[in-house]
Amino acid sequence: MSFTLAIVGRPNVGKSTLFNRLVGRKLALVDDQPGVTRDLREGEARLGHLKFTVIDTAGLEEATDESLQGRMRRLTERAVGMADACLFMIDARAGVTATDEVFADILRKKNAHVFLAANKGEGRAADGGVIEAYSLGLGEPLRLSAEHGEGMGELAMMLAPLIDAAEEKAKEEAPEVDIDLPEGDEQEAYRLPTVQKPLQVAVIGRPNAGKSTLINKILGEDRLLTGPEAGITRDAISLTLDWGGVPTRIFDTAGMRKKAKVQAKLEKLSVSDGLRAVKFAEVVVVLLDADIPFEQQDLRISDLAEREGRAVVLAVNKWDLEPEKQAKLRTLRESFERLLPQLRGAPLVTVSAKTGKGLDRLQQAVIRAHEVWNRRIPTSHLNRWLAGMVEAHPPPAPGGRRIKLRYMTQAKTRPPGFVVMCSYPDKIAESYSRYLVNGLREDFDMPGTPIRLWMRGQGDQNPYKNKKKSTPSRLRKHLDKKPYK
């Protein structure tokens, strides 16, 4: 297990900015508004030759009740307890506040290794705050600027002894394991998820649908911040777990409202982060509310996942509160087939994030959707199938021109994509392409997954087409002579 560093401090002291600099990417949302970060975000940091895990935490609040700020504080205190070391950040320009003094005492009791950093330390305006930092009793403060990268070398020197000691301890405790590689064909049609390449699952939906609660139940711990308030989640948080024996990385995303209602800059950043998570995912779980399923925004979100080419699983949450389950399920299936024909056959699973009921069915549906998403069909099977489809329903002949579908092959997977070589590809109607796609779904057992179909021409084999007729040169001189009078 790698060395873990938790970055803690008051809101708006620059914790997320430092986190982004350490991981080398803009993963955490950053804004001038305090209190942007709410959940714990982990990332693989690199500082010179040092490699470690860094945790971005919510700003420490003085609230200790069941309010949102109180729940955020408890989540941050939990990160402090599980980390190997803490970097306590203060704002050098604002100086030491009474809140900083309270939290310094708390950190001193909760973690053995606490480093003090005075952020925003560039320029003379920060001199007073750096000197005040000595009063916290945490040793010499590290003067740094997360925005401009100043003080990173000094931070590496502070962490190096602890990281080296942790690596030595890990080597001593690591057991020796003999690994037997499997023999035979290494290339498989379906790539099973591994620890190095886990199954990527994104959970998306409208605000307050229960996405964070569902992921907490899958993890078996309260890792994500939840509550009755809508829009708690802001960052797209990725978590790695062993889900039913399958290595999985699951993404919790912010709730997506209608575009016209998204006005605040921070909410736009949150939605954009969620859309980025969808692009990285392999399977997208669209979480619906059983009370108000298939709202207009639910349809837009489902269509977005299909257009991105991701395997889609629809999960109906809060099923434990539904009194008439069988009648409701029939209504849901009818609405699904009618409103989302592009996802016909996709799994529809009922779950309860509060009680955990239906999570086994959800995991099976995700694995099944991922397997179909990776499916490859032999070319010989495709061409026999294409001949039968053409015989049952030949393509139309626009303008009296007969369209020939010569052969078919699968060009890609993830999602499955097929190419049909034919004459006059631009003349084939969209309805006939849908006829072939629906046939692929039914005959090759590929329900729900997005299928891409391209019609391509082979080019005309006549080299003299569209060329002007020319007269041989040996005859041209005789034709140019004036006729006899």
3-state secondary structure 381-423: HHHHHHHHHHHHCCCCCHHHCCCCEEEEEEEECCCCEEEEEEC
248 closest CA partner among 350, 414, 375, 363? 363
Q: Has 316 been labeled as part of a binding site? A: no
User: Is 318 within any annotated ligand binding site?
Assistant: yes
Contacts of 267 (CB under 8 A, 6+ apart): 231, 254, 257
The answer to whether the annotation marks 57 as part of a ligand binding site is yes
Give yes or no for a contact between 4 and 82, defined as CB atoms under 8 angstroms apart. yes
- Check the annotation: does 13 bind a ligand: yes
* Radius of gyration of the chain measured on its C-alpha atoms: 30
For residue 207, say whether it is annotated as part of any ligand binding site.
yes
56 marked ligand binding residue: yes
Please check if 259 is assigned to a binding site.
no
423 is in an annotated binding site: no
Q: Is 122 known to sit in a ligand binding site? A: yes
Give residue 454's identity as a one-letter amino acid code: W
Nearest to 372 by CA among 279, 240, 282: 282
> Is 120 marked as binding a ligand?
yes
Flag whether 211 is marked binding: yes
Residue 12 assigned to a binding site: yes
Is 446 known as a binding-site position?
no
- Tell me if 358 is assigned to a ligand binding site: no
Residue whose structure tokens are 């078919």: 408
9 has binding-site annotation: yes
| 217 annotated to a ligand binding site | no
3-state secondary structure (DSSP) of residue 131: helix
Task: Convert 211-226 to b/e letters by CB count within 10 Å (16 or more is b).
Answer: bbbbbbbbeeeebbbb
Neighbouring-strand partners of residue 421: 407, 456
Q: Establish whether 184 is an annotated binding residue.
A: no
Per the listing, tokens 């900015």 go with 17
Question: Would strands 237-243 and 246-252 be described as parallel, antiparallel, or unpaired?
Answer: antiparallel
The tokens of 443 are what? 């005959």
CB 27 within 8 A of CB 43: yes
Give me the sheet containing 85-91, strands edge to edge: 41-47, 50-56, 4-9, 85-91, 114-119, 142-143
Please indicate if the annotation marks 457 as binding a ligand: no
**198 annotated to bind ligand:** no
Question: Is residue 256 annotated as involved in ligand binding?
Answer: yes
Q: Is 14 annotated to bind ligand?
A: yes
Known binding residue 205? Answer is yes
Secondary structure of 135-167 as H, E, C letters: HHCCCCCEECECCCCECHHHHHHHHHHHHHHHH
User: Is 208 annotated in some ligand binding site?
Assistant: yes
At 54, which helix (H) or strand (E)?
strand 50-56
User: What letter represents residue 358's amino acid?
Assistant: G
Residue 374, annotated as binding a ligand: no
In whole angstroms, give the CA distance from residue 146 to residue 136: 21
308 is in an annotated binding site: no
Residue 60 marked as a ligand binder:
yes
> What is each CA distance from 441 to 285, 399, 436, in whole angstroms?
20, 31, 9
Q: Is 210 annotated as a binding residue?
A: yes
Find out whether 22 is annotated in a ligand binding site: no
Q: Any binding-site annotation on 252? A: yes
253 is annotated as contributing to ligand binding: yes
135 is annotated as contributing to ligand binding: no
Parallel, antiparallel, or unpaired: how do β-strands 4-9 and 41-47 relate? unpaired
**Annotation-wise, does 421 bind a ligand?**
no
**Phi-psi category of residue 412: left, alpha or beta, with phi > 0 → left and psi -120 to 50 → alpha:** beta
Binding-site sequence positions for GTP? 9-16, 56-60, 119-122, 205-212, 252-256, 317-320
Binding-site sequence positions? 9-16, 56-60, 119-122, 205-212, 252-256, 317-320
